[in-house]
Amino acid sequence: MSSPNLHPMLNVAIKAARAAGAIINRAALDVEAVRVSQKQVNDFVTEVDHASEETIIETLLTAYPGHAIWGEETGRTRGAQDSDHVWIIDPLDGTTNFIHGFPVYCVSIALAVRGKVEQAVIYDPSRNDLFTATKGRGAYMNERRIRVSKRTMLSQCLISTGFPFRQGDNFPAYLAMMSDVMQRTAGLRRPGAAALDLAYVAAGFTDGFFETGLSPWDVAAGSLLVTEAGGLVGNFTGESDFLEQKECLAGAPRIYGQLVPLLHKYSKFAGAGEKAEARQNADKLSLSSGNGNGNGDERDQGAFE
């Protein structure tokens, strides 16, 4: 159901997200019957991902045939390739959770205009929670205005993140980074759906979020929610260049400012000395756990590159 008070493009995105959510909810009734395949090790895709994405694309292009599409499953093959308006879609963020019946997953849709995200929808079909934002108009959850957390002390904060799951990921570096954060916060959570993690930061349910290895469809919609809710989003060095850089940090302003110094050395943009410190931290954890040979990761583009 559309609202006359919302931007027309946001209304269409909401319609698309709810239609995709209906497909996901029907499939969730018998998740063991869902056909699953692997894109790579521990990276799953289901027939539900494809059906959800197709429904979203059809809804968007029916309303805006001159717009472009950038989908997780279909890439940039649909819509007008030269359009300034690009819909960035994750039809089912949290696929691994979904196929296990773990109810933490969502639909994520963002509209970027000349590279800047202007509309955002994140829909959690299992809870019927709808997060929306239009640039300059604030962020909302179920039509209620939301704001980021008011906490200012990192030691009191609940932070969400993601763990590595692909072959080639630098596990010791992840462990070192998480150790740095865990020792200075009230807790670290790994729900398993980055888009929903960002929505929860926007709503003040968590105080911050960080993760590497992310794609634009994981963070586009959530990043607008966070900024419209009064938060900050960037890469690990605190710069705004994050959408296609595979690292994302978000949080309430004061918390964001305290997380940047912790995570800076793990960034692909960090200086040589900071990268060396990150490798040393990873080596210590690797040796203490009995894994690895203590030589560290000698790659020169950051802890996760």
Determine contact, residues 196/203, Cβ cutoff 8 Å.
no
- What's the pLDDT at 273? 54
Q: Which amino acid is at 161?
A: T
Q: Give the CATH number of domain 154-288.
A: 3.40.190.80
- What's the pLDDT at 251? 98
Q: What is the pTM of this model?
A: 0.87
The C-alpha atoms of residue 279 and residue 276 are separated, in whole angstroms, by 5
- What's the pLDDT at 299? 34
Burial class of residue 40 (count of CB atoms within 10 Å of its CB; 0-12, 13-18, 19+): exposed
Determine contact, residues 282/162, Cβ cutoff 8 Å.
no
Handedness of CA 138, 142, 145, 150 (dihedral sign): negative
Burial class of residue 125 (count of CB atoms within 10 Å of its CB; 0-12, 13-18, 19+): buried
Q: What is the per-residue DSSP string for 211-224?
A: EES--HHHHHHHHH
Residue 267 phi, psi (nearest 5)? -80, 150
Handedness of CA 5, 11, 14, 19 (dihedral sign): positive
- What's the pLDDT at 301? 40
- Among 3.30.540.10, 3.40.47.10, 3.90.1530.10, 3.40.50.1240, name the CATH number for the domain at 8-137: 3.30.540.10
Q: Which amino acid is at 284?
A: K
Count the Cβ atoms, other than its own, within 10 Å of residue 305.
15
DSSP 8-state code for residue 79: B
- What's the pLDDT at 30? 86
- Domain parsing of the chain, residue ranges: 8-137, 154-288
Q: Could you tell me which of 74, 72, 92 has the C-alpha nearest to residue 25?
A: 92
- What's the pLDDT at 73? 84
Per-residue tens of pLDDT for the chain, all 305 residues: 456 588 999 999 999 999 999 999 999 998 777 877 665 544 456 889 899 999 999 999 999 999 999 998 888 889 898 999 999 999 999 999 999 999 999 999 999 999 999 999 999 999 999 999 999 999 999 999 999 999 999 999 999 998 766 665 677 888 898 999 999 999 999 999 999 999 999 999 999 999 998 999 999 999 999 999 999 999 999 988 888 778 999 999 999 999 999 999 998 776 655 556 656 665 565 555 555 444 333 333 445 55
Helix, strand, coil percentages (3-state) for the chain, rounded to 5, are: 40, 25, 40
Helices (H), the chain: 8-28, 47-63, 95-99, 171-182, 194-203, 216-228, 253-263, 272-288
Determine contact, residues 57/80, Cβ cutoff 8 Å.
no
Q: Could you tell me which of 104, 119, 101 has the C-alpha nearest to residue 17?
A: 119
DSSP 8-state code for residue 75: B
Determine contact, residues 55/23, Cβ cutoff 8 Å.
yes
